[in-house]
Chains A and B, each alone.
Chain A
Amino acid sequence: PSQCDLLCSQNYPLYIRSVPTENELKFHYTVHTSLDVVDEKISAMGKALVDQRELYLGLLYPTEDYKVYGYVTNSKVKFVMVVDSSNTALRDNEIRSMFRKLHNSYTDIMCNPFYNPGDRIHSRAFDTMVNSMMMQVC
């Protein structure tokens, strides 16, 4: 069980995908609470320099059931990933690569002139990518 969230700068979600689909509410709640941690990390960065490493926020906080990972883009679009703690096989590198893929797909979406930033994301390609990614996680 895991969830992948994409939130915009105003912290409302642009895209949410959970696998499986039950207990979504719990995931939503988790993501929302983790936003605080994300904001804290963003403000801590402070300076203008934004490089790849800083985009990846790492493990935001672990609970007994799941771990939450964060990633923020230069435009303050946040990616939050909640994964099951039982999935110990997931390494940091894998999480990073997943975020990178998410970021790449998100950029693809932004290139679409028909997409207005701030809209919910309905891209099929994005869905596909996220699905495949989450399959690997679960």
Chain B
Amino acid sequence: MEGVTLSEAEQRYYCDLFSYCDTESTKKVASNGRVLELFRAAQLPNDVVMQIMELCGATRLGYFGRSQFYIALKLVAVAQSGLPLRVESLNTVKDLPLPRFVVSKNEQESRHTALYSSDAENPASYSGVIPPPPPGRIQGKKGSVSHDAVQQRTSTDQQESTSPIVSPQQSPPTSPHTWRKHNRHPSGGNNERPLAGPGPFWAPFSEVQPGSSTSSDPIWSGHSPPPHQENWVSFADTPPTSALLAMHPASVQDQTTVRTVASATTANEIRRQSSSYDDPWKITDEQRQYYVNQFKTIQPDLNGFIPGSAAKEFFTKSKLPILELSHIWELSDFDKDGALTLDEFCAAFHLVVARKNGYDLPEKLPESLMPKLIDLEDSTVGEQTGEVGYSGSPAEAPPSKSPSMPSLNQTWPELNQSSEDTAIVHPVPIRMTPSKIHMQEMELKRTGSDHANPTSPLLVKPSDLPEENKMGSSVKFTSGNTVTDGYSSSDSYTSDPEQIGNAVTRQRSHSGTSPDNTAPPPPPPRPHASHSRSSSLDMNRSFSVTPGQQQAGVVAYPPAVPPRPQPSQGAGPHVHRSVDADGLIAHTSTSPQQIPEQPNFADFSQFEAFAVSGVNKEEEDEIETHPEVLQVEKPSDSASSLRVAKADGRVEDKAPANVPSSAGKGTTPLAPPPKPIRRRLKSEDELRPEAEEHTQKTGVIAAVLASQPSIPRSVGKDKKAIQASIRRNKETNTVLARLNSELQQQLKDVLEERISLEVQLEQLRPFSHL
């Protein structure tokens, strides 16, 4: 790229223009659409623009880098000054005025002029120069641009005959060069058509003239973009061009002959002069009525669609080239469904008429032609914004396909973006609530299930809950006869069934799973927490079922029924009792424990068994307490005995220390509010496997327990039976002790994880509301 020396004003000006053109904020490339707009506004002959583009190297590169852009701007200034375009002219020409660009007069002008007005070097150059307004604006504001032009050009009316020829030439660059060129010629020819008074349809176009030509340009088809020359072609220098531009639309208007309608030429002219600053693409009432009538001929129902084939036939009659019709269809089929609604049809028809009258087709659907969707008009902030949206959107490649015609609708890009955003935000783990559902389900299940399958609801739950749940659920399942089920379910979820298998006879290795599968009402994602929650529910239920004997600890549960097994935390230990292995999952486990325990309530024997097997430290305590609570008579005794036995064989002090009353303490380390843990667990998949393992273990234990002869539930059991069960439990205890040690190990690991997760949670907490 040739070196370009820029004066300070030039530098500033070009930089501004570059950022203006840098619609995608790449800081490196000027959007071709914008650049095209800019060059359009420079009002240079098309071939000059092409030459400029080649000179600056954009043709070679295919895009406008900053240096290309600056060079192009300079060349624009050179050309506007009437100097020959040469590479050397970039640096040799001194005191070049800043390139002038016809700008739509609105605020842009005022803004920009204010910006540059301070530049003493080229005060004059700024007066009429305004960085090209957003492409969208140009499209929408064709009228506005034309206004200025019109005002300036009133005197150049006589140039109409010539202007039409010029203006189309200028506009071509904007459209894809491939077929644009074809259009160029026809449009030129059209322009020369006698002003036959096209009819009302074209009235609006008169105003738009400069805009219309520019509007068709926006999109850069990859062809060498008009070099963004720094030629400060002063507007005054090229009044004819501008006049031409201004006149062009007018002439086009006059020349356009409505394809099917005999025009009221007088009406046209009147309109032309009267319409001021209207969107050139606006459909007048007459036009609209005509379109609607045409629509009816094809599709009587105004709310219906015109299929693509019918539309194709209809528009083919206009004898426009297929390529143009294809483009018109692209513009007007807003929702890309292959059919035209009334609005789309009117837009298409309008474009066809415009095209036939010599107007170049816009790159993006003009705002006024957009289908009147519900909030479209409200959302579009004036034509400018709409246009801006349009211009910006084509480059955006909207994420979603369907309403993703960025150019057509300002809102669409927003929608797309929003969809993107939502997509981005989407992945937030959702597990928070399930516990409640889980628990409710558990309750339902429990109520529905008999003792034999107190865990069935639990089983079901696991199905709902993903791995995490499995832990808890499996734990829950362990309660009661269905311990094995629990194991099995846990097995299904967890990965170390061996332990379970070793410890427990899997009577129903997969029975547990089946219930889960059969009754998975809740959605799969069940976090661990759900365990805890569900357990709390269970607890509540179970507590309610059992005579309130030592429900001291349990009492805490009933309040915990609501989704969060918060109370379960306190009562967690109780709950855990049945869950056992949930030590780590502690909080989550609390709930699962609670849940399982509820079923356990019904089955005292199970409680005992669980109590014995209490894997979790807390659980032990809780379980022990539970058994106590739940079991009125011997269960309590056995439970306590079991508990003791367990404590001995078990891990540690937790058991003794964590006697029900101190439910919370054992779980203290794990007891951090179940919620956070739950959340953590939910979000942390790692925990799940751990939890699963734990559940497995607990399940194993439960299974072990379950394998033992079920402790008679009835209160007044025979002592012998109790003792026998005690013996069995002791045997089980040894096994469980082994398991316990293993679980303890896991517990430690999980605790560590938990700590790290909590840290993460704390870090993420500020963003939790995103």
**Residues A82-122 near B (CB distance < 8 A):** 101, 104, 107-109, 111-115, 122
> Bound state CA distance, A93 and B388, in angstroms?
30
Stretch at the interface among B331-339, B494-502, B725-733, B746-754: B331-339
Across the A-B interface, give the 6 residue pairs with the lowest CB-CB distance, nearest first.
A113-B308, A114-B326, A104-B401, A113-B312, A132-B395, A111-B338
Q: List B contacts of A114 (CB < 8 A).
A: 312, 315, 322, 325-326, 329
Q: List A contacts of B744 (CB < 8 A).
A: none
Q: Does B63 contact A (CB under 8 A)?
A: yes
Q: In the complex the two chains form, is A113's CB within 8 Å of B311's CB?
A: yes
Q: Does B523 contact A (CB under 8 A)?
A: no
Q: Does A123 contact B (CB under 8 A)?
A: yes
Q: In the complex the two chains form, is B62's CB within 8 Å of A124's CB?
A: no
Which listed residue, B60, B311, B312, B326, touches A122 by the CB 8 Å rule? B326
Q: List A contacts of B61 (CB < 8 A).
A: 20
Stretch at the interface among B216-224, B570-578, B704-712: B216-224
Q: Does A54 contact B (CB under 8 A)?
A: no
Q: In the complex the two chains form, is A111's CB within 8 Å of B337's CB?
A: yes
Known: A111-B333, A111-B338, A122-B179. A129 touches B63 (CB 8 A): no
Given contacts A112-B329, A122-B326, A123-B327, 10 further A-B contacts (CB under 8 A): A17-B222, A19-B63, A114-B312, A114-B326, A124-B363, A128-B33, A132-B24, A132-B394, A132-B396, A135-B26
**Residues B397-425 near A (CB distance < 8 A):** 397, 401, 404-405, 407
Hey, what's the 0/1 contact readout for B192-216 against A, CB within 8 Å counting as 1?
A: 0000000000000000000000000
- Across the A-B interface, how many residue pairs have beta carbons closer than 8 Å? 93
Q: Does B90 contact A (CB under 8 A)?
A: no
Q: How far is the CB of B306 from chain A (nearest CB, A)?
A: 10
Known: A112-B326, A125-B405, A127-B221. A133 touches B312 (CB 8 A): no
Closest to A104 in B: B401
> Bound state CA distance, A111 and B32, in angstroms?
27
Q: Does B481 contact A (CB under 8 A)?
A: no
Q: List A contacts of B221 (CB < 8 A).
A: 124, 127-128, 131
Q: How far is the CB of B566 from chain A (nearest CB, A)?
A: 40
> Bound state CA distance, A2 and B221, in angstroms?
17
Q: How far is the CB of B437 from chain A (nearest CB, A)?
A: 31
- How many residues of chain A have a CB within 8 Å of chain B? 27
Q: How far is the CB of A96 from chain B (nearest CB, A)?
A: 13
Which listed residue, B32, B308, B407, touches A125 by the CB 8 Å rule? B407
Q: Does B323 contact A (CB under 8 A)?
A: yes
Q: In the complex the two chains form, is B330's CB within 8 Å of A124's CB?
A: yes
Q: Does B763 contact A (CB under 8 A)?
A: no
> Bound state CA distance, A92 and B487, in angstroms?
42
Q: In the complex the two chains form, is A113's CB within 8 Å of B330's CB?
A: no
Q: Does B29 contact A (CB under 8 A)?
A: yes
Q: List A contacts of B220 (CB < 8 A).
A: 131
Q: Does B309 contact A (CB under 8 A)?
A: yes
Hey, what's the 0/1 contact readout for B259-301 against A, CB within 8 Å counting as 1?
A: 0000000000000000000000000000000000000000000
Closest to B324 in A: A114
Closest to A116 in B: B322
Q: Does A21 contact B (CB under 8 A)?
A: yes
Known: A20-B60, A104-B404. A113 touches B394 (CB 8 A): no
> Bound state CA distance, A111 and B396, in angstroms?
21
Q: List B contacts of A129 (CB < 8 A).
A: 394, 397
Q: In the complex the two chains form, is A111's CB within 8 Å of B308's CB?
A: yes
> Bound state CA distance, A20 and B61, in angstroms?
5
Q: How far is the CB of A7 from chain B (nearest CB, A)?
A: 19
**Residues B1-44 near A (CB distance < 8 A):** 24, 26, 29, 32-33
Q: How far is the CB of B58 from chain A (nearest CB, A)?
A: 10
Hey, what's the 0/1 contact readout for B171-206 against A, CB within 8 Å counting as 1?
A: 000011011000000000000000000000000000
Q: In the complex the two chains form, is B336's CB within 8 Å of A108's CB?
A: yes
Q: In the complex the two chains form, is B325's CB within 8 Å of A124's CB?
A: no
Q: How far is the CB of A85 from chain B (nearest CB, A)?
A: 19
> Bound state CA distance, A107 and B402, in angstroms?
10
> Bound state CA distance, A135 and B333, in angstroms?
27
> Bound state CA distance, A135 and B33, in angstroms?
13
Q: In the complex the two chains form, is A124's CB within 8 Å of B338's CB?
A: no
Known: A101-B397, A112-B329, A122-B179. A131 touches B309 (CB 8 A): no
Q: List A contacts of B222 (CB < 8 A).
A: 17, 19, 127, 131
Q: In the complex the two chains form, is A133's CB within 8 Å of B333's CB?
A: no
> Bound state CA distance, A112 and B63, in angstroms?
29
Q: List B contacts of A21 (CB < 8 A).
A: 60, 62
Tell which of B175, B312, B337, B397 has the most Cβ of chain A within 10 Å.
B397
> Bound state CA distance, A112 and B309, in angstroms?
9
> Bound state CA distance, A108 and B179, in angstroms?
20
Closest to A101 in B: B397
Closest to B338 in A: A111
Q: List A contacts of B178 (CB < 8 A).
A: 122
Q: In the complex the two chains form, is A112's CB within 8 Å of B333's CB?
A: yes
Q: How far is the CB of A44 from chain B (nearest CB, A)?
A: 28
Q: In the complex the two chains form, is B312's CB within 8 Å of A128's CB?
A: no
Closest to A121 in B: B326
Q: List A contacts of B407 (CB < 8 A).
A: 125, 128
Q: In the complex the two chains form, is A115's CB within 8 Å of B405's CB?
A: no
* A–B complex contacts, Cβ < 8 Å, 27 sampled: A17-B222, A19-B63, A21-B60, A22-B60, A107-B336, A107-B401, A108-B330, A109-B330, A112-B330, A112-B338, A113-B338, A114-B312, A114-B315, A114-B329, A122-B179, A122-B326, A122-B327, A124-B330, A125-B407, A129-B394, A131-B32, A132-B24, A132-B394, A133-B397, A135-B24, A135-B26, A135-B29
Closest to A122 in B: B323
> Bound state CA distance, A32 and B309, in angstroms?
35
Q: List A contacts of B308 (CB < 8 A).
A: 111-113
Q: In the complex the two chains form, is A123's CB within 8 Å of B404's CB?
A: no
Q: How far is the CB of A31 from chain B (nearest CB, A)?
A: 18
Q: How far is the CB of B408 from chain A (nearest CB, A)?
A: 9
Q: List B contacts of A19 (CB < 8 A).
A: 62-63, 222
Hey, what's the 0/1 contact readout for B356-369 against A, CB within 8 Å counting as 1?
A: 00000001000000
Q: List A contacts of B405 (CB < 8 A).
A: 108, 125
Q: List B contacts of A122 (CB < 8 A).
A: 176, 178-179, 323, 326-327
> Bound state CA distance, A135 and B243, in angstroms?
36
Q: In the complex the two chains form, is B397's CB within 8 Å of A124's CB?
A: no
Known: A108-B401, A113-B338. A124 touches B219 (CB 8 A): yes
Tell which of A122, A128, A138 has the most Cβ of chain B within 10 Å.
A128
Q: List B contacts of A135 (CB < 8 A).
A: 24, 26, 29, 63
Which listed residue, A101, A111, A124, A131, touches B327 by the CB 8 Å rule? A124
Closest to A22 in B: B60
Q: List A contacts of B394 (CB < 8 A).
A: 125, 128-129, 132
Q: How far is the CB of A41 from chain B (nearest CB, A)?
A: 25
Tell which of A19, A112, A114, A133 has the most Cβ of chain B within 10 Å.
A114
Closest to B337 in A: A111
Closest to B60 in A: A20
Q: In the complex the two chains form, is A124's CB within 8 Å of B175's CB?
A: yes
Q: How far is the CB of A134 from chain B (nearest CB, A)?
A: 8
**Residues A58-75 near B (CB distance < 8 A):** none
> Bound state CA distance, A89 and B620, in angstroms?
55
Known: A122-B179, A125-B394. A115 touches B326 (CB 8 A): yes
Q: How far is the CB of B312 from chain A (nearest CB, A)?
A: 4
Closest to A127 in B: B221
> Bound state CA distance, A127 and B223, in angstroms?
11
Closest to A113 in B: B308
**Residues B515-571 near A (CB distance < 8 A):** none
